[in-house]
């Protein structure tokens, strides 16, 4: 039976796990100081956490002029999270440990327009969990290409999937008997980057995804900014040219409709650079061979992207930009024009903001989905209400129970 709040012991156990998860290994004195708990209480709590297999003694820390202290760290088997990437034709599942290690992946066909969408999603998830043979599942994260308006219900509006008010979170949670968090896919990747990736050292960063779509996630003071309706960050639907091509959102001249992968492919076909069945890879090959038209297509796209990003730099004054996505495979064809335009159009105070290009794999979206669960379990605060409470209770309890 779900409880509405932790006991005081649960709160302190969760705080210790969060501190270790976010800041890394620490000794008991450091934990007591960081959490403002008595050393005796920290010693008592860490003893039970070790007994429960949630943390372990990792190594001896030799302090200058003091006694050696034993460092404590999270156990990689403290719990597992399921991540699901939902796209227009398939689902990708991952199983992740609390340290971000991917244990297993699986991809299955999926029809988001089917009459039995929710039942199909639940059944595929149940099958994946059953194949794991584990009971220590903290929760399920779902990353979708769209806006999530209700963190408790996980209500999704997605043009890409053809969904309007789809109650993914509540339905899946009830069917599986597990906590479920649903989030926009770009926001999910930003959480993964902040927890495990290059953005871990930044409190304020903007993450831009480049590929079929153009996405944006905003992290301010270490917290994801979702907006009042969960729809913040729609960079791809900012109008970048007047009377441009029609976008999937119904407007014309959106950034995504002008420089997204399909738009670049369509332009290349129209200009006779590639055949009707040609791909962005074919266009990139021509560019690397020195074709001036192909180079201009990438350069023009990079200039438009950098123009949009420069406005963000001037507005948010971030610590860094992180750029990733399927389009990163051709970043060598974007970088010169992008960086030159970004620096020239940004205000002097933000021209030196670093641009971090992150590696990308096909399962990165699903890893982001799993990170929704893991970041919630290692955080004292969350925007996900009762689902967050359930996840943290499962982490601090033994046997993965709510």
Residue with tokens 């962005």: 280
Kindly tell me if the per-residue pLDDT of 30 is higher than 50: yes
Model confidence, pTM: 0.83
Residue 53 or residue 180, greater confidence: 180
Confidence of residue 4 (pLDDT cuts 50, 70, 90): very low
pLDDT value at residue 182: 94
Q: Which of 43-57, 60-74, 98-112, 270-284 has the lowest mean pLDDT?
A: 60-74
**Token pair of 32 as six digits:** 């007591």
Q: Is the pLDDT of residue 83 over 60?
A: yes
pLDDT for 302 equals: 97
Domains of the chain: 8-74 (1.10.10.10), 80-191+363-396 (3.30.420.40), 200-357 (3.30.420.40)
d(CA 371, CA 183): 11
pLDDT score of 49: 85
Q: Which residue has the higher pLDDT, 338 or 402?
A: 338
Give 395's contacts (C-beta < 8 A, 6+ positions apart).
14, 17, 54, 78, 79, 138, 377
For the sheet containing 147-150, what is the strand order? Answer: 147-150, 155-158, 163-167
What is the tens place of the pLDDT at every residue in 264-299?
A: 999 999 999 999 989 999 999 999 999 999 999 999
Taking residues 23-48, report their average pLDDT.
87
- For residues 46-57, average pLDDT: 84
- d(CA 177, CA 174) in angstroms, rounded, equals 5
| Distance in angstroms (rounded) separating the CA atoms of residues 206 and 340 | 19
- Outline where DSSP puts E strands in 260-325: 320-324
Instruction: Name the E strands within 4-68.
Output: 26-27, 55-61
Q: Is the pLDDT of residue 346 over 80?
A: yes
Query: Mind giving me the DSSP string for 147-196?
Result: EEEETTTTEEEETTTTEEEEEHHHHHHHHHTS-EEEEEHHHHHHHHHHHH
**With 60 as the cut, is the pLDDT of residue 77 above it?**
yes
Average pLDDT, the chain: 87
Tell me: pLDDT of 76 over 90: no
Measured CA to CA, the distance from residue 273 to residue 296 in angstroms comes to 12
Can you read off the two tokens belonging to residue 237?
A: 């639907």
In contact, 185 and 145? CB cutoff 8 Å: yes
Q: Round to whole Å and give the CA distance between 147 and 165.
A: 10
Cβ contacts of 21 within 8 Å, gap of 6 or more: 74, 98, 374, 377, 378
The pair of structure tokens assigned to 128 is: 């994946």
Q: What is the pLDDT of residue 16?
A: 80
DSSP state of 236: G
**CB distance 327 to 333 below 8 Å:** no
Percent pLDDT > 70 in the chain is 89
pLDDT at 377: 66
Looking at residue 1, what is its pLDDT?
A: 33
R_g of the chain computed on alpha carbons: 23
pLDDT in tens, 145-171: 988 987 678 899 998 899 999 999 999
pLDDT of 397 reads: 66
The token duo for 298 is: 């990438």
At 309, list the tokens: 């990003």
- Per-residue model confidence (pLDDT) at position 14: 67
Q: What does the alpha-carbon distance between residue 190 and residue 209 come to, in Å, rounded to a whole number? A: 10
| Residue 250 confidence (pLDDT) above 50 | yes
Q: Residue 7: its pLDDT value, please?
A: 53
Asked if 308 and 238 touch (Cβ cutoff 8 Å), the reply is yes
**pLDDT band at 246; cut points 50, 70, 90:** very high
Query: In the prediction, which pLDDT does 11 show?
Result: 67
pLDDT, tens digit (0-9, with 9 covering 90-100), for 85-132: 999 999 999 998 877 788 899 999 999 999 999 999 999 999 999 887
Question: Phi/psi of residue 189, each to 5°?
Answer: -65, -35
pLDDT digits (tens, 9 = 90+) for 178-196: 999 999 999 999 988 887 8
């Amino acid at each position: 039976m779900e409880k509405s709040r932790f006991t005081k012991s649960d709160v302190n156990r969760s705080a210790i796990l969060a501190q270790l998860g976010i800041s890394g290994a620490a000794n008991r004195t450091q934990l007591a100081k960081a959490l403002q708990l008595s050393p005796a209480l920290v010693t008592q709590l860490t003893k039970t956490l070790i007994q429960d297999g949630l943390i372990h003694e990792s190594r001896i820390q030799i302090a200058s002029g003091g006694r050696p202290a034993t460092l404590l760290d999270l156990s990689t088997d403290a719990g597992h999270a399921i991540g699901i990437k939902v796209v227009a034709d398939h689902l990708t599942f991952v199983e992740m440990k609390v340290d971000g290690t991917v244990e297993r992946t699986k991809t299955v066909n999926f029809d988001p327009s089917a009459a039995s969408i929710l039942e199909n999603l639940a059944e595929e998830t149940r099958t994946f969990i059953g194949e794991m043979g584990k009971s220590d599942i903290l929760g399920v994260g779902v990353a979708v290409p769209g806006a999530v308006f209700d963190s408790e219900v996980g209500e999704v509006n997605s043009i890409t999937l053809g969904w309007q008010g789809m109650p993914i979170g509540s339905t899946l949670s009830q069917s599986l008997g597990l906590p479920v968090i649903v989030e926009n896919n770009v926001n999910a990747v930003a959480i993964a980057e902040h927890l495990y990736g290059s953005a871990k050292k930044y409190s304020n960063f903007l993450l831009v995804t480049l590929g079929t779509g153009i996405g944006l996630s905003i992290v301010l003071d270490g917290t994801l900014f979702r907006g009042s309706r969960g729809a913040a960050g729609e960079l791809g639907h900012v109008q970048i040219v007047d009377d441009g091509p029609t976008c999937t959102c119904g407007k014309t001249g959106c950034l995504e409709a002008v420089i997204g992968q399909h738009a670049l492919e369509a332009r290349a076909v129209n200009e006779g650079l590639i055949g009707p069945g040609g791909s962005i890879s074919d266009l990139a090959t021509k560019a690397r061979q020195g074709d001036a038209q192909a180079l201009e297509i990438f350069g023009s796209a990079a200039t438009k992207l950098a123009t949009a990003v420069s406005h963000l730099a001037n507005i948010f004054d971030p610590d860094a930009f992180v750029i990733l996505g399927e389009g990163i495979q051709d970043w060598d064809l974007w970088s010169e024009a992008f960086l030159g335009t970004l620096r020239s159009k940004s205000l002097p105070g933000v021209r030196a903001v670093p641009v971090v290009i992150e590696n990308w794999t096909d399962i990165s979206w699903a890893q982001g989905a799993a990170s929704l669960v893991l970041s919630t379990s290692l955080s004292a605060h969350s925007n996900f209400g009762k689902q967050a409470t359930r996840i943290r209770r499962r982490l601090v309890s033994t046997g993965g129970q709510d």
